[in-house]
Structure 1
Amino acid sequence: MIEVLNIEKSFGDNHVLKGISAQFEPGVTNLIIGGSGSGKTTLLKCMVGLHQPEKGKVLYNERNFTEMSMQERIPIRQEIGMLFQNSALFDSMTVEQNLMFPLDMFTNLKRSEKRKRANEVLERVNLEGKNKLFPAELSGGMKKRVGIARAIVMNPKYLFCDEPNSGLDPKTSLVIDGLIKEITEEYQITTVVVTHDMNSVMEIGQKILFLHQGQKWWEGSNKEITKTDNQELNDFVFASPLMEKLLK
């Protein structure tokens, strides 16, 4: 489990996060949603150590990540998998080399063991036999699946996904959503997804944190989100053409 306690973050005079507290549970898809500038990406970056909050704590299974030195954070960082918005694959490396990169950096496995692990995660994301392809030879959806495979190659306890459906068509987005949910439940990972995609919210939003103007404005599930009387959340949710269509 990941806990954030009273997180405050500013950039100059811009007070982005204003006392955010929340829990992110293992085995369920935890979504952070909100409009542009609401603070959702900043919160994610505070959670993984890319930003240092001025106040508050980030706890990984009761370990205070926020107060650790860079050296002390290394064991927790090795438990984290990250799917970036643009997949962040190395263009000069093959799919297999991209997957083996974290294993080269952080393990002492033999080459054959690394290749075996790469093949295992490729099979898990339904990309068997794509080892020797380069990113330029992959579709957008395939790149996302390789990104997911690389994020789980180290058997992480925690998985962070930043706008995983950005740039994808609706059909491919459903595939990526389903894969994230399946992997989360199968491996009992604590998964945190930052998204503005209402289709993702309705498909996999088992626990949802809605941020508004840097504050936690609402918390609940996808089954509860359409029944709330929270005006700001309703304005966000029902601005989506998808939700308008569902409610007609």
Structure 2
Amino acid sequence: MIEIKNIHKTFGENKVLRGISANFEEGKNNLIIGGSGSGKTTLLKCIVGLHDVTEGEVLFDGENFTHMNFEERVPIRKKIGMLFQNSALFDSMTVEQNIMFPLNLFTDMSQSEKQDRANFCLERVALKDKNKLFPAELSGGMKKRVGIARAIAMEPKYLFVDEPNSGLDPKTSILIDELINELTQEYKITTVIVTHDMNSVMGIGDHILFLHQGEKWWEGSNKEIAHTDNKELNDFVFASKFTQAAKEKL
């Protein structure tokens, strides 16, 4: 489990996060949602240590990550997998080399062991035998799957995902959501996803944290979200439906 306690983050005079607390549970898809500028990506970066918090604490299974120095954080960072919004693949590396990158950095595995692990991860994301392709030869959905394969290469205990469906068509988005959900449940990963995709929210949102103007505005499950009377959340959740309805009348 990941616990965040009273997280504040300020950049100069700009207060981006204002006292956010929540628990993200093992084996669940924990979604962070909110409008542009609500602070959701900043919160994700604070949790993984890419930003230092101005105030508050982040705990990984009871270990206070916030108060650790760089070396003390390494064992926890080895348990973290990340999928960035644009997949962040190295263009000069093959698919296989991209997946093996964290294994080269953080493990003493032999070359054959790393090869076996890369093959396993590729097969798990339905990209068997794509080892020697370069990112430029892949579709957007395939890049996302390679990014997921690299993220699970170290058998992470915690998985962080930033806008996994950005730039993807609806069908591919659903496939990516299903894959993340399967991996989360299969390996009992604590998964934290930043998204604005309402299909993801309603499809895999076990636990949802809604941010508004840097504050926690609502918290619950996808089953509860449809029955909330929170105005800002309703405006955010149903805006796309209203937009689509308006288009259909034209």
Task: Give the TM-score normalised by structure 1.
Answer: 0.97
Give the total of aligned pairs.
Answer: 246
Q: Distance in 2 between matches of 1:241 and 1:147?
A: 30
Provide the residue aligned with 1:39 in structure 2.
39
Provide the residue aligned with 1:109 in structure 2.
109
Provide the residue aligned with 1:234 in structure 2.
234
- Amino acid across the alignment from 1:156: P
Change (3 A) 1:29 1:130: same
Query: Are the equivalent residues in 2 in contact too, given 1:198–1:242 (CA < 8 A)?
Result: no
Cα distance, 1:244 vs. partner? Answer: 6.5
1:195 aligns with 2:216: no
Cα distance, 1:242 vs. partner? Answer: 7.9
Provide the residue aligned with 1:216 in structure 2.
216
Query: Are the equivalent residues in 2 in contact too, given 1:6–1:19 (CA < 8 A)?
Result: yes
Q: Distance in 1 between matches of 2:242 and 2:165?
A: 15
Q: Distance in 2 between matches of 1:123 and 1:114?
A: 14
Cα distance, 1:241 vs. partner? Answer: 2.6
Provide the residue aligned with 2:80 in structure 1.
80
- Tell me how large the CA RMSD over aligned residues is: 1.3
Cα distance, 1:226 vs. partner? Answer: 1.1
Q: Residue 222 of structure 2: SS of its match in structure 1?
A: coil
Structure 1 ranges of 4+ moved more than 3 A:
242-245
Provide the residue aligned with 2:51 in structure 1.
51
Q: Distance in 1 between matches of 2:243 and 2:157?
A: 33
Q: Distance in 2 between matches of 1:24 and 1:244?
A: 32
Cα distance, 1:238 vs. partner? Answer: 1.1
Give % identity.
73
Q: Distance in 1 between matches of 2:243 and 2:113?
A: 47
Which residues in structure 2 correspond to 1:167-182 (within 5 Å)? Answer: 167-182=167-182
Q: What are the superposed Cα offsets for residues 43-88 of structure 1, whole Å, 9 maximum, x if unpaired? A: 0000000111111000000000000001110010000000000000
Q: Residue 226 of structure 2: SS of its match in structure 1?
A: helix
Query: Are the equivalent residues in 2 in contact too, given 1:81–1:159 (CA < 8 A)?
Result: yes
Q: Which runs of 5+ in 2 are unaligned?
A: 246-250
Query: Are the equivalent residues in 2 in contact too, given 1:33–1:209 (CA < 8 A)?
Result: yes
Q: What are the superposed Cα offsets for residues 81-125 of structure 1, whole Å, 9 maximum, x if unpaired? A: 000000000000000000111101110111000000000010100
Q: Distance in 2 between matches of 1:77 and 1:223?
A: 32
- Amino acid across the alignment from 1:239: A
Provide the residue aligned with 1:134 in structure 2.
134
Q: What are the superposed Cα offsets for residues 111-163 of structure 1, whole Å, 9 maximum, x if unpaired? A: 00000000001010000000000000000000000000000000000000000
Task: Give the TM-score normalised by structure 2.
Answer: 0.96
Q: Which runs of 5+ in 1 are unaligned?
A: none
Q: Residue 128 of structure 2: SS of its match in structure 1?
A: coil
